[in-house]
Amino acid sequence: MKRIDCLRAIYGDIADCAVVTIMGAVAVELYSLGHRANFFYLEHAMGLASSLGLGIALAQPDRRVVVVDGDGSVLMNLGGLTTLARYAPPNLTHLVFDNESLLSVGGFPTATSTGSDLTGIAVAAGIPNATTVTDLDGFTAAARAALAADELRLVTAKVEAVGPTSFAMDLHLLENRFEFARALRT
Amino acid sequence: MPVSAGNSKLVYEALLGVGVEVMTALPETWLVHLIRLAEDDPAMTLVRLAKEEEGVGISTGVHLAGKRSALLMQNHGMLQSVNGIVSCAQLYKIPLLMLISDRGHLGERDPWQTEGGKVTRRVLDALGIVHVELSAPEAVASTVAKAMTLAQASLSPVALLLTRDLMWEEPALVAELVDTSVPADRMGGAP
A174: nearest CA partner in chain B: B92
ipTM: 0.97
- Indicate the pLDDT class of residue A106, thresholds 50, 70 and 90: confident
Q: Which helix (H) or strand (E) holds B143?
A: helix B140-154
Exposed / middle / buried, residue B113 (Cβ in 10 Å: 0-12, 13-18, 19+): buried
Distance of CA A125 to the CA centre of its chain: 18
Contact list in A for residue B96 (CB cut-off 8 A) is none
Q: Do B57 and A40 touch (CB under 8 A)?
A: no
Contact list in A for residue B22 (CB cut-off 8 A) is 55, 58-59
Q: Where does B18-104 have alpha helices with state H?
A: 32-39, 52-64, 75-80, 82-84
Q: Do B88 and A45 touch (CB under 8 A)?
A: yes
In this complex, is the C-beta atom of B62 within 8 Å of any C-beta atom belonging to chain A?
yes
B43-86 per-position pLDDT tens digit: 999 999 999 999 999 999 999 999 999 999 999 999 999 999 99
Residue B184 has a pLDDT of 55
CB-based contacts of A101: which residues, under 8 Å, 6+ apart? A71, A72, A107, A108, A109, A110, A113, A161
Contact list in B for residue A59 (CB cut-off 8 A) is 21-22, 61-62, 65-67
Q: Do B57 and A52 touch (CB under 8 A)?
A: yes
Residue B52 has a pLDDT of 98
Contact list in B for residue A45 (CB cut-off 8 A) is 56-57, 83-84, 87-88, 91
In this complex, is the C-beta atom of B84 within 8 Å of any C-beta atom belonging to chain A?
yes
In this complex, is the C-beta atom of B156 within 8 Å of any C-beta atom belonging to chain A?
no
> Which residues sit opposite A98 in a β-bridge?
A158
Residue B176 has a pLDDT of 56
A28-67 per-position pLDDT tens digit: 999 999 999 999 999 999 999 999 999 999 999 999 999 9
A57-97 per-position pLDDT tens digit: 999 999 999 999 999 999 999 999 999 999 999 999 999 99
With a pLDDT cut of 70, the percent of chain B lying above it is 88
Whether residue B171 has pLDDT greater than 70:
no
B68: nearest CA partner in chain A: A59
B111-169 per-position pLDDT tens digit: 999 999 999 999 999 999 999 999 999 999 999 999 999 999 999 999 999 999 999 99
Does residue B183 or residue B60 have the better pLDDT? B60
Whether residue B38 has pLDDT greater than 90:
yes
Residue A186 has a pLDDT of 86
Contact list in B for residue A60 (CB cut-off 8 A) is 65-66
- Indicate the pLDDT class of residue A103, thresholds 50, 70 and 90: confident
Does residue B99 or residue B173 have the better pLDDT? B99
Query: How confident is the model over A108-126, as a mean pLDDT?
Result: 97
Q: What is the mean pLDDT of chain B?
A: 93
Amino acid identity for residue B158 in this structure: V
Q: What is the mean pLDDT of chain A?
A: 97
User: What is the DSSP code string of chain A?
Assistant: --HHHHHHHHTTTTTTSEEEE-STHHHHHHHHH---TTEEE--S-TT-HHHHHHHHHHH-TTS-EEEEEEHHHHHHTHHHHHHHHHH--TTEEEEEEE-SEEGGGT-EE-GGGGT--HHHHHHHHT--SEEEE-SHHHHHHHHHHHHHSSS-EEEEEE--S---S----SS-HHHHHHHHHHHHT-
**Topology, domain B5-186:** Rossmann fold (3.40.50)
Residue B173 has a pLDDT of 53
Residue pairs spanning A and B at CB distance below 8 A: 113
